[in-house]
């Protein structure tokens, strides 16, 4: 059941299931609360699981009159969501661009984070990697969408972040979700790439779990290498037979890794 929470005149949509320590799930590009459908039932047996749709994402519409589209805006929103609704430190799990949002929350408000879980995080630069040139595909995909070439734009974006021919293999519910959020690429293509200094990362002392897909394309494996090197208290796991969307490709293993990590660090 989708719930509403109004904060500063903006209506956020989220789901909550289970009891216990709070686990907050933050989706990535073109996704929303539905992205976590294969996690919530299992993890809610052990934790109070919250999934939040970020500003501009379904069931809201993309509209820059309702706030900027940026990692900063989204991380500020996550902080307010925790303060207004959860009201206690959380285990924070972010996937892809949601990993960048989660990382910024953890840097700015470490007292709010019991543990940090980053699944193929992206959308930022760390230690001069990756280069800005790598993200030109976002601009091209957004231009295609703006010119009513929706399928072409979405296919380009998904195949770039998850590997060639991923789009044609996507299940219908995932494609429907992506179509619902297509316009968010118009905002994402214009946002500044966030820079995380290795000094800030090196001063994050909460327990951290780094999750990668065994066949995830660049730049995700190398970003995880950088984070593994700089984060003081981290563990790293690889989800076999899976690419960037490893929580969908191999949910059983993904869920078990998240569950066991939180139990150890709780």
pLDDT tens sequence across 174-199: 999 999 999 999 999 999 889 999 99
Are the C-beta atoms of residues 185 and 145 closer than 8 Å to each other?
Answer: yes
Pick from 22, 27, 1: nearest CA to 248: 27
pLDDT at 237: 99
Q: Looking at per-residue confidence, does 130 or 79 come out higher? A: 79
Pick from 207, 265, 262: nearest CA to 45: 262
Q: Flag whether the pTM goes above 0.85.
A: yes
Which residues have a Cβ under 8 Å from the Cβ of 167 and sit 6 or more positions away?
A: 154, 155, 158, 159
- pLDDT confidence band for 64 (50 / 70 / 90): confident
Q: CB-based burial of residue 68 (10 Å sphere; 0-12 exposed, 13-18 middle, 19+ buried)?
A: middle
- pLDDT confidence band for 58 (50 / 70 / 90): very high
Chain centroid to Cα 20, Å, comes to: 22
Average pLDDT of span 251-260: 99
pLDDT at 66: 83
- pLDDT confidence band for 130 (50 / 70 / 90): confident
Chain centroid to Cα 31, Å, comes to: 9
List of domains in the chain: 3-132+193-265 (3.40.50.1820)
- pLDDT confidence band for 241 (50 / 70 / 90): very high
Least confident of 24-38, 72-86, 127-141, 199-213: 127-141
In tens, the pLDDT along 70-119 reads 999 999 999 999 999 999 999 999 999 999 999 999 999 999 999 999 99
Are the C-beta atoms of residues 254 and 246 closer than 8 Å to each other?
Answer: yes
């Amino acid at each position: 059941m989708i719930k509403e929470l109004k904060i500063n005149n903006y209506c956020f949509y989220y789901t909550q299931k289970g009891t216990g320590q709070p686990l907050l799930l933050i989706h990535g590009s073109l996704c929303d609360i539905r992205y976590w459908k294969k996690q919530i039932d299992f993890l809610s047996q052990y934790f109070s699981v919250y999934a939040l749709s970020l500003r501009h994402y379904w069931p809201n519409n993309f509209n820059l009159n309702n706030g900027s589209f940026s990692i900063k805006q989204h991380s500020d929103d996550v902080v307010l969501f925790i303060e207004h609704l959860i009201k206690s430190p959380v285990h924070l799990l972010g996937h892809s661009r949601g990993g960048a949002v989660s990382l910024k929350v953890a840097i700015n408000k470490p007292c709010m984070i019991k543990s940090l879980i980053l699944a193929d995080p992206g959308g930022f630069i760390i230690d001069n990697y990756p280069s800005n040139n790598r993200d030109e595909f976002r601009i091209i995909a957004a231009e295609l969408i703006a010119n009513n070439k929706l399928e072409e734009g979405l296919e380009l974006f998904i195949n770039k972040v998850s590997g060639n021919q991923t789009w044609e293999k996507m299940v219908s519910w995932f494609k429907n979700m992506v179509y619902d959020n297509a316009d968010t690429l118009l905002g994402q293509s214009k946002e500044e790439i966030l820079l995380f200094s290795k000094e800030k990362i090196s001063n994050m002392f909460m327990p951290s779990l780094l999750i990668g897909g065994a066949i995830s394309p660049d730049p995700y494996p190398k970003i995880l290498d950088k984070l593994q090197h700089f984060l003081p208290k981290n563990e790293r796991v690889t989800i076999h037979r899976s690419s960037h969307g490893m929580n969908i490709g191999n949910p059983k293993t993904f869920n078990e890794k998240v569950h066991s990590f939180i139990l150890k660090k709780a």
